[in-house]
Amino acid sequence: MNKYGKLPIHKWSVPSKSYPELSYKVSQFKEGRFECDCMFFLTKRVDCRHIGLIKASLNPDQLSLID
């Protein structure tokens, strides 16, 4: 659930490029909006690299989809 009380329809775990032991959660909401829990997105509120990877992926299911 995000700060607006909405539940995501899809969630993915995207590994950090800088720190392979870390991963970030990217969520997609019903209206098509994406959010990420990385510091870049949380502070700037613009698409980060993690969201870009999901959007650019031809098959986002190849990344770890979280139930």
Express each pLDDT in 13-61 by its tens digit: 999 989 989 999 999 998 889 999 999 999 999 999 999 999 998 565 5
- Which residue would you say has higher pLDDT here, 45 or 2? 45
pLDDT at position 2 is 62
pLDDT at position 57 is 85
pLDDT at position 25 is 97
pLDDT at position 6 is 82
Whole-prediction pTM:
0.78
Separation in Å, CA 27 to CA 13, 15, 51, 64? 9, 14, 9, 12
Separation in Å, CA 3 to CA 7, 30, 42? 10, 15, 11
What stretches of the chain show up as alpha helix (H) in DSSP?
39-44, 49-56
